[in-house]
Amino acid sequence: MGQVVEATKETFPELVGSGLALVDVWADSCRPCVVLAPHLASIASTNPDLTVVKLDASKARRLCMSLQVRGLPTILLFRDGQEVARISEPNLTAERLDAWLSTVLTQQH
């Protein structure tokens, strides 16, 4: 795939439904979310087997509630439609995200 896909509440189930999907739950008002956006694009380009999905929390409140997202940024990892890991830290950095992602991807193989 190689690019970041914008999800809506309607397209979300299909986007995370097969294979590995990394979901970036974000909002314009979340400064760390905005800072991480280019890094998520680079994750997408370097992990072709990973679908990187951006979900705007302000446009998908019910979906975020059903996913039990309580703070931003929150990054979720789905395998075949099931959440298998998440990281949610108010001061999430690109380095911390990479360390978490390499750990959880190792567990998925």
Listed as own residue / partner, the contacts of 38-47 with beta carbons closer than 8 Å and 24 or more positions apart are 39/94, 39/97, 40/4, 41/3, 41/4, 43/97, 43/98, 43/101, 44/1, 44/2, 44/3, 44/4, 45/2, 45/3, 47/22, 47/105
Q: So which residues are the catalytic ones?
A: 30, 33
